[in-house]
Amino acid sequence: MNLKRSLKLYKMLEPHLPEDLELEPFDFISIIVHNIKESKRHNDYIDILEFVSGMPRSELLSMEFIDLFEMFAEGMTDLQIIYLAKFCRKMGLSDA
Amino acid sequence: MESSIQIGKKKYLISRLRLREWLKLEDNRIRIKEATESKDIDGFAEGVYSYISVAIGVSSEELDELYWYEVINIFETIQAENFPKYEFPLLESKTKAKTVRWDYPERTWYIWANNLADTYGWNLEYIAELDIDDAIGLLQEILVNDQLEKEWEWGLSEIAYSYNSSTKKSEFRELPRPDWMKAPPEEIKPIRMPKFLMPLGKIVGRDGKEEILQ
């Protein structure tokens, strides 16, 4: 994913990111999913998966939760999401 | 110290830039900062691409094809290579440069070149190749001398003194200095206060917490 798209992804993820960026990747990703669930903005989860995987929304909605979570976790790990969040916060791109 | 990076099959050397190119880098740094302040992520990415293009000549289109991590890595390497050696107050100015009618792209270079050529009589080619620390240090000295000279002339003129009708005396008004020349505000030291001067009763703090003092 190039810089422009990764920054867009950061903006989608930003409201759900944990404060602590020093967490282990799995914990970090689990907190994102937990935060999305808590915020009741479930569409954000599908929007992010659609953006990362390029799969049609209808197909994503027909998948099992566990498969979606696996896809989400893999996507976030491959994209080095913690490093992206650290960079964006360091550069002042964060809304907080 | 130079470092190198590889994009595709091509190897690029990242070295410390000379004044003219460094000023282009600075213009891009400001562009990135402005995009950050306005939370314009596309503007931010364009600024980063342009910053890298100035330093190593890779086009924005090529950079747009790269994985984001690589771009950021190149960007941070260039930044580290081109930091001034000292913390020059001149570069810490918080006042945003006002846009004027006679602005044009890359005007920063001509402002610097004009000041350095005027003071030292160097030609443009020589100024363009100056080491950035030397150039920043010299420009700061030129601006300090200029300000001190203006302050001296100001002190000799009538407009520097205004009549205070309550004291019936003339008072000297200092010529304002640019913010990077002003002394930083002194830290306010905590003062011990006798207990009998302390407020009594219910105190509500800014955080809403209540406290009873007796």
Does B138 contact A at CB distance below 8 Å? no
Between chain A and chain B, how many beta carbons pairs sit less than 8 Å apart? 46
Mean confidence (pLDDT) of chain B: 89
Does B49 contact A at CB distance below 8 Å? yes
- In sequence order, the β-bridge partners of residue B210 are B204
Chain B nearest-CA residue for A3:
B68
* Residues of chain B with C-beta less than 8 angstroms from the C-beta of A85: none
Mean pLDDT confidence for B152-177: 87
Domain boundaries, chain A: 3-13+24-90
Q: Which of the four pLDDT bands, split at 50, 70 and 90, describes residue B128?
A: very high
* Residues of chain B with C-beta less than 8 angstroms from the C-beta of A95: 39
DSSP assignment of chain A equals: --HHHHHHHHHHHGGG--S-SSS-HHHHHHHHHHHHHHHT-HHHHHHHHHHHH---HHHHHTS-HHHHHHHHHHHHHHTTHHHHHHHHHHHT----
Q: How far is B185 from chain A (nearest CA, A)?
A: 25
- Number of other residues whose CB lies within 10 A of the CB of residue B78: 23
Q: What is the pLDDT of residues B75-98, one digit of tens each?
A: 999 999 999 999 999 988 777 777
Asked if A87's CB is within 8 angstroms of B72's CB, the reply is yes
Give the one of A4, A11, A91 whose C-beta lies nearest to B36's C-beta. Answer: A91
Does B7 contact A at CB distance below 8 Å? no
Q: Which of the four pLDDT bands, split at 50, 70 and 90, describes residue B64?
A: very high
Does B80 contact A at CB distance below 8 Å? no
Does B66 contact A at CB distance below 8 Å? yes
- First-to-last alpha carbon distance for chain A, in angstroms, is 25
Q: What is the pLDDT of residues A9-60, one digit of tens each?
A: 999 999 999 988 888 888 999 999 999 999 888 889 899 999 999 999 999 8
B97/B115 Cα distance (integer angstroms) = 17
- In sequence order, the β-bridge partners of residue A66 are none
The length of chain A is: 96
Does A7 contact B at CB distance below 8 Å? yes
Mean pLDDT confidence for B155-183: 87
ipTM (interface pTM): 0.87
Q: Are B54 and B21 in contact (CB under 8 A)?
A: yes
- Token pair for residue B163? 């009549």
